Amino acid sequence: MVGAADRARTQRADRSLLIGIVVFGAVLRLAMLASRWGDPLELNDSIYYSIQAAQNADGNWFAEPLSRTPGAEHPPLTVLAITPASLLPSPVFWQRATTTLFGIAAVALIALLGTRLGGRRVGVVAAAIAAVYPNLWLSDGLVMSESIAVALVTVVMIAALWHGERFTPASAALCGAALGLAALARSELLLLVPLLAVVGLGTQDRRRWLGRAAVLAGAAALVVMPWLVWTSIRLDAPVLMSTNSGMTLLGANCPPTYYGDSIGGWELECVFGSDELRGHLGETAVERSNRGRAEAVAYVRQHPERVPLVVAARVLRAADLYGLTSSVRGDVGEERMEWGVWAGVAAWWVLAPMAAIGLYRMSRGDRWVLATPVICVAVVTVVFYGSHRLRAPMEPVVAVAAATFLVGAYESTWWTKGAGRSGIAGVDRDHPR
């Protein structure tokens, strides 16, 4: 009875600590939100999201902000999430408040993910990291997609772990639905579907595995299909999630990003700074994307000798090992505080190596689930460019994997000998799975 009482007391203390950490993370984010009161939106994607949400509120759904013609520059979920806020006085503030709420939710979700992976101790440490990690809270309160994407990627990983344990049609459908929602926030997250469809391969009967993979992919398709059909009809052309891939490619494959100070990055002037743009003002969204893609591909073909160097620079930028000054400048242009961005760089340098070791120490199945956002970010970085924005979907992995390392290191020290260990080396698994 004494052991049970002690265990119950410890659990209550852990819950109280976890609640306190989440509350602290919420207070920090709300303070950052309050500091933005009255600040105008800068000329970046936030303008697009904000104006399109306001047009939604007026009944002109998903129109291009300037031309008011049908558009699909971004997937719809972020704009849908902030549309109700657009009906309120001071709509920009309430749009920012909406993304802040997703950031607060992400702290709690990261705690849940850590608990499912390594027990209560890992959950508490993961929540503590998520609460203060600048690369998570810097995007909260911005009228952009990062906060929503981070929360949904965390939900996807929780659902994928649950699916791996149960491997039922219901668990596969739930994971697929979560994947579809994540893709509606950030289109590149559609890459997670094939990556997570392989869960169970090698441990399950081949026919059973194929059935579950089909259910997962089918559920994801059902979630995104209404948006794909609707946009394709409105734009009179097939649209895969959004129409911004062409311009994104063009901004990453041009003289400044191949030969200038922005090697491996993205330059707005390559998209909107040329005299040639004046001849394309009447383009539809699909035509603009197709033209950008064609120009980008042509530029790559004209400069094949630079591609290995540019790809290496993209990867190094994503890892904060190259081009820090221009990366920070880009973040500041997207309304992030300069001191916070530099703090995020320092935190990344500390946490990323720990996260790599933490991932290595996980069981094979858990490691694969957490590796999928990392693989997704790596692919997008190689194809497009390196930046903190594109790295955002893997930041929850950094928090949880670093927590796994820290708890394992603590429990392996001489004063904690005898701590229960199973599954992840050095990690307490005292939780229901």
- pLDDT at 79 (0 to 100): 96
Over residues 360-387, mean pLDDT: 95
Alpha carbons 80 and 61: distance in angstroms, whole number: 10
The DSSP bridge partners found for residue 63 are 70
- pLDDT at 402 (0 to 100): 98
- What confidence tier does 383 reach under pLDDT thresholds 50, 70, 90? very high
Tell me the pLDDT tens digit for each residue of 111-147: 999 999 999 999 999 999 999 999 999 999 999 999 9
- pLDDT at 432 (0 to 100): 39
- pLDDT at 63 (0 to 100): 86
- pLDDT at 286 (0 to 100): 86
Over residues 205-216, mean pLDDT: 93
- What confidence tier does 14 reach under pLDDT thresholds 50, 70, 90? confident
* Amino acid identity, position 125: V
Percent of the chain clearing pLDDT 70 (strictly above): 92
Query: Does the pLDDT value for residue 415 go beyond 80?
Result: no
Query: Does the pLDDT value for residue 397 go beyond 60?
Result: yes
Query: Does the pLDDT value for residue 70 go beyond 70?
Result: yes
Over residues 151-160, mean pLDDT: 98
E strands present in 173-314: none
HSE toward the beta carbon, residue 285, CA cutoff 13 A: 27
Query: Does the pLDDT value for residue 3 go beyond 80?
Result: no
Look up the pTM and report it: 0.91
- pLDDT at 69 (0 to 100): 81
- pLDDT at 388 (0 to 100): 94
- pLDDT at 268 (0 to 100): 85
Over residues 79-107, mean pLDDT: 96
Which alpha helices (DSSP H) does 83-198 contain, by range?
A: 91-118, 120-132, 134-137, 146-166, 169-185, 192-197
- pLDDT at 428 (0 to 100): 43
Q: How far is CA 129 from CA 147, 152, 198, in A?
A: 16, 18, 30
Alpha carbons 25 and 142: distance in angstroms, whole number: 16
- Comparing 10-24, 218-232, 373-387, the range with the smallest average pLDDT is 10-24
CB-based burial of residue 6 (10 Å sphere; 0-12 exposed, 13-18 middle, 19+ buried)?
A: exposed
- What confidence tier does 360 reach under pLDDT thresholds 50, 70, 90? very high
- pLDDT at 281 (0 to 100): 60
- pLDDT at 8 (0 to 100): 73
- pLDDT at 285 (0 to 100): 82
Question: What value does the mean pLDDT of the chain take?
Answer: 89
Query: Does the pLDDT value for residue 68 go beyond 90?
Result: no
Query: Does the pLDDT value for residue 417 go beyond 70?
Result: no
Alpha carbons 364 and 342: distance in angstroms, whole number: 34
Percent of the chain clearing pLDDT 90 (strictly above): 71
* 8 A C-beta contact, residue 404 and residue 424: yes
Over residues 237-265, mean pLDDT: 90
Question: For 69, left (φ over 0), alpha (ψ -120 to 50), or beta?
Answer: beta
